[in-house]
Amino acid sequence: SAVISQKPSRDICQRGTSLTIQCQVDSQVTMMFWYRQQPGQSLTLIATANQGSEATYESGFVIDKFPISRPNLTFSTLTVSNMSPEDSSIYLCSVEPFTGNNEQFFGPGTRLTVL
Amino acid sequence: AQRVTQPEKLLSVFKGAPVELKCNYSYSGSPELFWYVQYSRQRLQLLLRHISRESIKGFTADLNKGETSFHLKKPFAQEEDSAMYYCALSGGATNKLIFGTGTLLAIQP
């Protein structure tokens, strides 16, 4: 398994500002993903964070709004840029270790409220 | 289109009664199906996956390709089973997960 931490655990931000969320894993992993869970809804994949190259974004999500970094095999950041109240969500990081069995482990999430 | 459907937002059953959480999927290839669970104040975690064909905490799920279903079952519900359950599928080279909307399972004493 993999132990994942996220910072911050929650934040309240003003409209128009940006927030960077960090995801740290206790071991090297092959894949890292960022999901969003809007209030009362399911998890939606934002992007796959690729080590050493640009992230792969899902339909409806763009790099200018959600820039992602992955400088190494244990760390990634997601920035929510120019925030609006519609960005209020839980943002989750997940990882897939090098076991090759497609199992993903999830972080505790970051609860973001935009006023 | 790839999609996972969980028709029930809330399922309430009495302790000791059987449980069935429904999941249907739409996928053009051969997906891998999962059930994830989130207990109160805990993070999302994998409960079981179809390729393992194992029982976890008394839960089982069989992939029915004809009906494109992956329903989660348990013969006798326990109070500690109360949680949010998400069905998910993974397919293709990227292993990204597509989640259903989730079912809140509430076990009544």
What is the per-residue pLDDT for B60? 94
What's the whole-number average pLDDT of chain B? 92
* CA separation for the pair A44, A54 (Å, rounded): 19
β-strand partners of B74: B19
φ and ψ of B26, to 5 deg? -130, 120
What is the per-residue pLDDT for B30? 82
Pick the closest to residue A96 from A19, A9, A23, A15 (CA basis): A23
Q: Is residue A21's pLDDT more than 80?
A: yes
Tell me which residue in A33, A41, A109 faces B96 most closely, judged by beta carbons. A33
Which of B99, B101, B103 to probe the A interface (max A CBs under 10 A)? B99
Smallest CA–CA distance from B47 into chain A, residue: A103
Sheet with A19-25: list strands edge to edge.
A4-7, A19-25, A75-80, A68-72
Higher pLDDT, A52 or B38: B38
β-strand partners of A13: A114
Minimal C-alpha gap between A22 and chain B (Å): 16
* CA separation for the pair A36, A42 (Å, rounded): 8
What is the per-residue pLDDT for B93? 67
Pick the closest to residue A21 from A56, A46, A57 (CA basis): A46
Minimal C-alpha gap between B84 and chain A (Å): 11
Residue type present at position A39: P
Given the DSSP bridges, would you call strands A75-80 and A56-57 parallel, antiparallel or unpaired? unpaired
Higher pLDDT, A33 or B50: A33
Q: How many CB atoms neighbour CB A39 within 10 A?
A: 7
Residue type present at position A62: V
* CA separation for the pair B100, B24 (Å, rounded): 9
* CA separation for the pair B30, B28 (Å, rounded): 7
Q: Does B59 touch chain A (CB under 8 A)?
A: no
Q: Is residue A79's pLDDT more than 70?
A: yes
Smallest CA–CA distance from B51 into chain A, residue: A101
Minimal C-alpha gap between A94 and chain B (Å): 10
Largest CA distance in chain B: 44
Cβ–Cβ under 8 Å, residues A63 and A55: yes
In which band, very low, low, confident or very high, does the pLDDT at A41 lie, cut at 50, 70 and 90? confident
Lowest-confidence pick of A30-34, B15-19, B51-55, B67-71: B51-55
